[in-house]
């Protein structure tokens, strides 16, 4: 026992218990001593820890797998004690500190033994204490706990499973690592005679402290202690004749009949339990809540906040719902619903020859009229249905913006399939995470994407889109079809359209369209605030997003636009507006040039332009830099096309007025706007350049709440914005308010709000703490005129000894320093006593040494930055060649990465490259 009264780190001695069942001694951990009414007796070697004030509300029966033991659940025991849940975590016989009986136990034996133990403890059987039981299992413990659940329907209240499998078809090979360790030449040496299997399992958890590893090793110091590890591995029913196959099949089949609440928690970086095992569990428990912890692996409770998630789920499932503050209560609107694909049918009938979609790329211009687009959408939907695509199934679209993406997108929506859209800018790793988490049933993609899909084992039936196949006289390369067997390609977009056209000629019609509340799309976030999240929108919220954009910006069939920002291509087309996609690298918005934008604007006589801040910055650079001979980089025709633009939007990240103003040099007759929104709700607010200027004047005049951030305007019609105030630790814990000048997390609602996050139960639970509202994770405040000012991200707040600071106000002040191109304000040091460090990226044309390796800023630059930040104290000013930004917009600063680098540098360590 240590000085804290713990038998092992994180485990009070009083939680360690033993009992005898059928002549065998079981060890288990039980937090009941920490609950109201818990036993007065001390545990082995120490006093009873302080009791809680909440009586037990139920029992969590936690079962470990192989080669761990009950210590795996220590955080769940602690969290359960605080929340009023008794947690009993058992050591299975031959494992942990339970008895080594010398018997080889099969799966059915272990299920029966667990039942005998719970009868003895009063958790089940004739002496049941009446408290509902929620099972919690990991690895083999998942199967054993599921078996117990099936055998105890009276006591069972809920089921939680983490990284496990209940079905191993004989036709599927056992996972590679298990196959290796089961080999007769490896098995005994790896599992029993040596601790190799144990050490390999512990190594699957990144960053596990050595003292924790040593606790896991404690029961398994010698071969006799490890015999159960070897027996567990041998008991895997890898064949149809294995002695445990019948019991495994019983449990797998029985799960389909379990109707109690269920929760599935998963670590995707698991070399043992592949994603297909999670899909199987979801199929058997379709009502289960699911949360995938990106970056976590096999030992999920060591890698992620399993304890906090389980306790929150218990509270949401079995607790009383929280009262909704009056300020958050909403009147449910009953606005008429029109699906997003309706405009295609309408325009196809009323303006069939008018251009609908124009795409420019290195191969020229591709154009599709409304009539042809409507026909193609119908034919593709028929072709997809003929190939097995069904309503509610998911279809990942791995196609660049343009004619093909528009056709495929609206065909899937019309069919009722759920489109999965992930930005190619996420990179191969990010895209793989997104596709695997969304688990599409089908993929439609260009050849490069389908090659990656095959190599990386992305799920789904695959259809290929050959480039430029729709251009008259174009012959697709033979490789698009000759590699079908190699890459598992089921067909091409051209073939699907041809099949659909034949079916249409035969009189086959599409089924009725999807309902308003049906899932329409899984749209992935940019990944700028962590792994990209899948956001599920219903057909109703998608149509509300379309209507919000139309109302805010006046897009209509009479007003064409250039879509330099992908979401607006979908929404504009859904409004019946002609769209043009400029020639640019979709994975890098900053590659959009002024010439490319002008060509796209000229192709459709654009009324509006949508682009990200970084794209507009590059447009300005490439429009104003003359060559050595002083020649204009744009032709007179290109200048004229840009001069006819009447509206441009900088979308994707809040943008300062100066950057909007610079774009006016290129589009002098346009009104600049910048919306605030997110994948979860777009748009939420809107502001024009003139309104930003007025807001800045109000800030100088001392209007309450004006200033200290970037003004993003007032809510668009139908939307509301409130603030959850920050406490002294920088956490948003207050009651929502609309009071001017209160800084906190931005809370939004509107008809365009997402339905939920996909397979991210904990993230959704946090974001929708109040039903119908979304906690954005951004911090900001409202001013007295009802305008929203964004101050940064909630997890980027700086908590100093003098109070809480937010970064954007500081960064905006620094951006006014001549030559500063980008700035990041971060906190360095322990939270509560953090110091403000400002990192800047400067323009080489203004500052010599701008491209030198990162380090302390020159004295003159540092003085200018400090003066701009006054009266806020800046501990250090650093300069780097480039401040890292997010992959989608090239605009959102990766402050967490910057803070880590700055912390190393300020501490005198080797900081490396940023």
**pLDDT averaged per 10 residues in sequence order, the chain, 914 residues:** 76 96 97 72 44 78 97 97 96 98 96 98 95 97 98 98 88 68 70 92 93 97 95 86 93 97 97 92 97 96 97 95 86 77 95 94 84 97 97 95 91 97 86 93 93 88 76 45 73 95 96 95 83 95 94 92 80 93 78 92 94 86 74 90 94 78 92 94 95 95 94 95 97 96 97 97 96 96 97 95 95 93 95 96 90 93 96 95 71 86 91 83
- Nearest Cα neighbor of 606 from 643, 673, 561 is 561
Q: Which pLDDT value is given to residue 461?
A: 93
| CB atoms near residue 843 (< 10 Å) | 12
Any bridge partners for residue 770, and if so which?
none
**Helix 427-438 vs helix 447-455: crossing angle, to nearest 10:** 70
HSE-CB of 169 using CA atoms within 13 angstroms: 5
- Coil, helix or strand for 803? strand
Any bridge partners for residue 365, and if so which?
360
Strands (DSSP E) found in 413-524: 418-421, 442-446, 461-465, 489-492, 519-524
Residue 561 burial (C-beta neighbours within 10 Å; 0-12, 13-18, 19+): buried
DSSP string, 511-563: PPPPPTTSEEEEEE--STTSS--EEEEEHHHHHHHHHHHHHHH--BTTB-EEE
Q: Which residues contact 191 (CB under 8 A, 6 or more apart)?
A: 67, 181, 197, 226, 229, 230, 233
DSSP conformational letter for 888: T
Sign of CA pseudo-dihedral 889, 683, 757, 725:
positive
Q: What is the pTM of this model?
A: 0.91
DSSP conformational letter for 269: B
Distance between CA atoms of residues 397 and 520, nearest Å: 13
Q: Which pLDDT value is given to residue 45?
A: 38
Distance between CA atoms of residues 152 and 147, nearest Å: 9
- Nearest Cα neighbor of 782 from 731, 718, 723 is 723
Q: Which pLDDT value is given to residue 631?
A: 77
Residue labelled with tokens 């004749």: 241
**Helix 613-624 vs helix 594-604: crossing angle, to nearest 10:** 100
What distance lies between CA 488 and its chain's CA centroid? 28
Distance between CA atoms of residues 574 and 544, nearest Å: 11
Residue labelled with tokens 């954005």: 776
Q: Which two tokens stand for residue 277?
A: 């095992």
Domains and CATH numbers, the chain: 59-126+151-318 (3.40.50.1820), 371-514 (3.40.50.980), 687-751+769-793 (2.30.38.10), 798-906 (3.30.300.30)
Q: Which residues contact 343 (CB under 8 A, 6 or more apart)?
A: 573, 574, 575, 576
- Nearest Cα neighbor of 487 from 440, 453, 444 is 453
Strands (DSSP E) found in 4-132: 6-8, 11-12, 16-21, 24-30, 59-63, 86-90
Listed in sequence order, the DSSP H helices in 703-806 are 761-767
Would you give the end-to-end CA distance of the chain in angstroms? 44
Q: Which two tokens stand for residue 452?
A: 């990656």
Beta carbons of 76 and 12 less than 8 angstroms apart: no
Distance between CA atoms of residues 528 and 427, nearest Å: 12
DSSP string, 691-711: HHHHHHHHHHTT-TT--SSEE
User: Taking phi first (over 0 means left), then psi (-120 to 50 degrees means alpha), and beta for anything else, what does residue 163 get?
Assistant: left
Q: Which two tokens stand for residue 912?
A: 């490396």
Any bridge partners for residue 6, and if so which?
12
Q: Which pLDDT value is given to residue 531?
A: 86
Q: Which two tokens stand for residue 36?
A: 């109201």
Residue 208 burial (C-beta neighbours within 10 Å; 0-12, 13-18, 19+): middle
DSSP string, 193-243: ISSHHHHHHHTTSTT--HHHHHHHHGGGSSTTTTHHHHHHHHT---STTST
Q: Which two tokens stand for residue 96?
A: 């942990």
Distance between CA atoms of residues 757 and 761, nearest Å: 7
Distance between CA atoms of residues 525 and 143, nearest Å: 35
- Coil, helix or strand for 147? helix
Distance between CA atoms of residues 815 and 806, nearest Å: 15
Distance between CA atoms of residues 403 and 576, nearest Å: 15
Distance between CA atoms of residues 233 and 669, nearest Å: 72
Residue labelled with tokens 């491209």: 851
Q: Which residues contact 276 (CB under 8 A, 6 or more apart)?
A: 172
Distance between CA atoms of residues 323 and 325, nearest Å: 6
Q: Which pLDDT value is given to residue 482?
A: 56
Beta carbons of 654 and 710 less than 8 angstroms apart: yes
What distance lies between CA 691 and its chain's CA centroid? 33
Distance between CA atoms of residues 434 and 421, nearest Å: 9
Distance between CA atoms of residues 420 and 717, nearest Å: 28
Beta carbons of 11 and 77 less than 8 angstroms apart: yes
Q: Which pLDDT value is given to residue 476?
A: 47
Q: Which two tokens stand for residue 448?
A: 């490069």
Q: Which two tokens stand for residue 716?
A: 């668009």
Any bridge partners for residue 394, and if so which?
418
Any bridge partners for residue 877, and if so which?
838
Please state whether beta strands 774-782 and 744-749 pair in parallel, antiparallel, or not at all (unpaired).
antiparallel
Beta carbons of 352 and 359 less than 8 angstroms apart: no
Phi, psi (deg, nearest 5) at residue 713: 90, -165
Prior bond of 683 cis (ω within 30°): yes
- Coil, helix or strand for 281? helix
| CB atoms near residue 221 (< 10 Å) | 10
HSE-CB of 643 using CA atoms within 13 angstroms: 7
Q: Which pLDDT value is given to residue 473?
A: 43
Q: Which residues contact 557 (CB under 8 A, 6 or more apart)?
A: 347, 351, 354, 575, 576, 577, 578
- Nearest Cα neighbor of 272 from 382, 168, 392 is 168
Distance between CA atoms of residues 214 and 210, nearest Å: 6
Distance between CA atoms of residues 606 and 160, nearest Å: 54
Q: Which two tokens stand for residue 845?
A: 């044309």
């Amino acid at each position: 026992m240590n000085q804290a009264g713990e038998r092992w780190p994180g485990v009070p001695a009083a939680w360690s218990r033993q009992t005898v069942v059928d002549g065998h001694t079981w060890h288990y951990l039980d937090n009941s001593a920490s609950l109201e009414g818990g036993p007065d007796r001390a545990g082995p070697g120490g006093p009873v820890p302080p009791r809680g004030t909440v009586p037990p509300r139920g029992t969590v029966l936690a079962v470990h797998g192989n080669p761990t033991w009950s210590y795996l659940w220590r955080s769940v025991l602690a969290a359960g004690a605080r929340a009023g849940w008794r947690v009993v975590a058992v050591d299975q016989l031959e494992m942990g500190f339970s008895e080594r009986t010398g018997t080889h136990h099969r799966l059915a034996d272990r299920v029966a033994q667990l039942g005998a133990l719970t009868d003895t403890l009063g958790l089940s059987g004739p002496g049941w204490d009446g408290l509902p039981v929620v099972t919690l299992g990991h690895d083999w413990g998942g199967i054993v706990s599921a078996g117990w659940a099936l055998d105890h329907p009276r006591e069972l209240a809920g089921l939680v499973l983490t990284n496990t499998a209940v079905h191993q078809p004989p036709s599927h090979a056992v996972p590679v690592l298990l196959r290796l360790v089961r080999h007769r030449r490896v098995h005994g040496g790896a599992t029993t005679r040596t601790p190799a299997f144990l050490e390999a399992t512990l190594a699957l958890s990144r960053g596990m402290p050595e003292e924790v590893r040593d606790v896991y090793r404690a029961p398994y110091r010698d071969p006799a202690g490890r015999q159960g590890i070897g027996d567990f591995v041998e008991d895997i029913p890898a064949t149809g004749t294995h002695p445990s196959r019948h019991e495994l099949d019983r449990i797998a089949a029985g799960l389909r009949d379990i109707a109690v609440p269920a929760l599935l928690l998963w670590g995707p970086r698991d070399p043992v339990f592949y994603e297909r095992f999670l899909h199987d569990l979801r199929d058997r428990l379709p009502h289960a809540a699911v949360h995938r912890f990106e970056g976590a692996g096999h030992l999920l409770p060591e890698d992620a906040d399993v304890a906090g998630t389980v306790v929150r789920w218990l509270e949401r499932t079995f607790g009383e719902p929280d009262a909704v503050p009056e300020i958050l209560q909403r009147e449910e609107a009953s606005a008429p619903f029109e699906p997003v694909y309706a405009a295609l049918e309408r325009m196809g009938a009323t303006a069939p020859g008018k251009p609908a979609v124009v795409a420019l790329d290195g191969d020229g211009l591709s154009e599709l009229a409304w009539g042809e687009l409507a026909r193609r959408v119908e034919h593709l939907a028929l072709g997809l249905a003929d190939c097995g695509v069904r309503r509610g199934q998911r279809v990942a679209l791995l196609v660049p913006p343009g004619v093909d993406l528009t056709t495929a997108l609206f065909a899937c929506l019309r069919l009722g399939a759920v489109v999965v859209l992930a930005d190619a800018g996420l990179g191969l790793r990010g895209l793989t995470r997104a596709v695997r988490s969304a688990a599409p049933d089908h993929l439609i993609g260009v050849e490069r994407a389908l090659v990656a899909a095959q190599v990386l084992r992305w799920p789904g039936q695959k259809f290929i889109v050959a480039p430029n196949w729709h251009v008259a006289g174009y012959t697709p390369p033979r490789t698009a079809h000759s590699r079908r067997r190699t890459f598992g390609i089921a067909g091409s977009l051209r073939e699907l359209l041809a099949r659909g056209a034949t079916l249409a000629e035969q009189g086959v019609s599409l089924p009725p369209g999807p309902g308003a509340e049906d899932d329409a799309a899984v749209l992935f976030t940019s990944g700028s605030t962590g792994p990209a999240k899948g956001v599920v929108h219903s057909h109703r919220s998608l149509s509300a997003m379309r209507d919000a954009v139309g109302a805010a910006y006046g897009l209509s069939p009479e007003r064409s636009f250039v879509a330099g920002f992908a979401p607006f291509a979908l929404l504009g087309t859904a409004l019946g507006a002609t769209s043009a996609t400029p020639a640019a690298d979709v994975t890098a918005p900053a590659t959009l040039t002024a010439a490319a934008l002008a060509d796209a604007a000229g192709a459709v006589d654009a009324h509006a332009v949508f682009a990200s801040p970084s794209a507009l910055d590059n447009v300005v650079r490439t429009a104003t830099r003359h060559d050595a001979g002083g020649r204009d980089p744009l032709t007179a025709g290109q200048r004229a096309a840009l001069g006819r633009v009447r509206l441009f939007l900088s979308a994707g990240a809040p943008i300062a007025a100066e950057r909007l103003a610079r774009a006016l040099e290129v589009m002098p007759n346009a009104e600049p706007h910048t919306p605030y929104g997110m994948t979860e709700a777009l748009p939420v607010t809107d502001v024009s350049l003139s309104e930003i200027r007025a807001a800045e004047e109000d800030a100088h005049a001392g209007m309450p709440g004006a200033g200290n951030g970037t003004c993003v305007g007032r809510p668009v019609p139908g939307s509301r914005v409130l603030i959850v105030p920050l406490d002294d630790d920088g956490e948003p814990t207050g009651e929502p308010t609309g009071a001017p000048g209160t800084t906190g997390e931005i809370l939004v609602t509107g008809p365009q709000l997402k339905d939920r996050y996909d397979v991210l139960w904990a993230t959704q639970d946090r974001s929708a703490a109040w039903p119908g509202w979304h906690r954005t994770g951004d911090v900001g405040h409202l001013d007295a005129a009802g305008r929203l000012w964004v101050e940064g991200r909630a997890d980027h707040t700086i908590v100093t000894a003098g109070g809480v600071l937010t970064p954007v106000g500081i960064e905006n002040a620094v951006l006014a320093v001549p030559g500063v191109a980008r700035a990041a304000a971060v906190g360095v040091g322990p939270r509560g006593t953090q110091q403000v460090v400002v990192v800047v990226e400067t323009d080489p044309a203004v500052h010599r040494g701008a491209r030198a390796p990162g380090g302390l800023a020159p004295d003159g630059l540092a003085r200018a930055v400090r003066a701009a930040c006054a009266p806020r104290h800046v501990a250090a000013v650093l300069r780097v060649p480039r401040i890292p930004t997010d992959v989608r917009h090239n605009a959102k600063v990766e402050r967490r990465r910057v803070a880590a680098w700055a912390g190393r540098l300020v501490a005198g360590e080797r900081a490396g490259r940023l």
